[in-house]
Amino acid sequence: MASGPGKINLFADFTGPEIPIAIAVAYGASAGYYLGPFSVKGDLAENDTGVVALAVSNGAVRISNNNENGKGVALTTDLVFSPSLMGTLTLEARVQMQALTTRSLFIGFTDAIANDVAEPVTSTTITHTLAASDLCGFVLDSQLTAAAVWHACYNGGTTTGQTVSTSTTTGVTAVAGEWDVLRIEIDTNGTARYYINGNLESTVVEAVSTTVLQGSLVGAFGTTTTAADMDVDYIHVTANRDWTR
């Protein structure tokens, strides 16, 4: 019989410890490190990559990736969330960028999480390449024609993952120096909803597999030889507990 905590509730407000970029190389030699309930993964052996605290109200961190195409840093969980057994899954993050150029961002769920984390989606002009077999998240990529627009990407469900960016656009444009609240919800049947600043921007029926385990990922990746970053005010991930195991 189910008893005890029935809800998984992960929240980081980033008002406490930090891992400075200057010592990221020491942590990069190991499997990774943690910031609150989230793991820091990525190309951590470089001197310009890491997660640092910002002196702002509420607290925030800056995810800073290095100056290599496709390399980056992400705050993640492990692959522990089953939509069918633990839905509705939710991920909410409040983010902003200093600039909107030379960067690729992903905020959502995916089954592709490793220590040297890679982009779940890569994009150019009007084409998405869905690198992860299962994913559900927001993408902003300066290599797209709509370079500053949040896109609602997905893959793995009975609805075929969309690779044309004009079909995934939310129509909401990010503004440098302004915060956006991004929220993903995945139901037990794999249907996904995408909210930006409290407004429902997209719904995709059976967007992801209901049985593949996924993890949350909030990450920034480089696109050129210029280092890029993303500021994160908070991350909140929730799921129901799987009482079947």
- What is the DSSP annotation of 172-236? EEP-TT--EEEEEEE-TTS-EEEEETTEEEEEETT-S-SSS-BEEEEEEE--SSS--EEEEEEEE
CA distance 100 to 121: 17
pTM of structure? 0.91
Domains and CATH numbers, the chain: 56-73+80-134+143-212+225-245 (2.60.120)
User: Around Cβ 130, how many Cβ atoms within 10 Å?
Assistant: 19
CA distance 109 to 213: 10
Question: Taking Cα atoms as reference points, which of 33, 62, 67 lies closest to residue 47?
Answer: 67
Q: For residue 40, what is the enclosing H or E element?
A: strand 38-42
What residue has token string 């990774």? 32
What's the pLDDT score for residue 31?
A: 44
- Tell me the residue length of the chain: 245
CA distance 32 to 103: 23
Per-residue pLDDT of the chain (245 residues; tens, 9 = 90+): 444 588 999 999 988 655 555 454 444 334 456 677 898 888 776 666 778 888 888 889 999 887 778 788 999 999 999 999 999 999 999 999 999 999 999 999 999 998 888 899 999 999 999 999 999 999 999 999 999 999 999 999 999 999 999 999 999 999 999 999 999 999 999 999 999 999 999 999 999 999 999 999 999 998 887 778 899 999 999 999 999 98
101: cis peptide before it, omega within 30°? no
What's the pLDDT score for residue 32?
A: 54
What's the pLDDT score for residue 70?
A: 78
- Both tokens assigned to 224: 């050129």
CA end-to-end span of the chain: 12
What's the pLDDT score for residue 1?
A: 42
Burial of 2 (0-12, 13-18, 19+ CB in 10 A): exposed
Buried b (16+ CB within 10 A) or exposed e, 170-206: bebebeeeebbebbbbbbeebbbbbbbeeeebbebeb
CA distance 165 to 126: 5
Contact 124, 131 (CB under 8 A): no
Cα distances (Å, whole numbers) of residue 138 to 47, 109, 193, 244: 28, 9, 11, 31
Strands 192-196 and 50-54 come out as unpaired
Helices (H) and strands (E) in the chain, counts: 3, 18
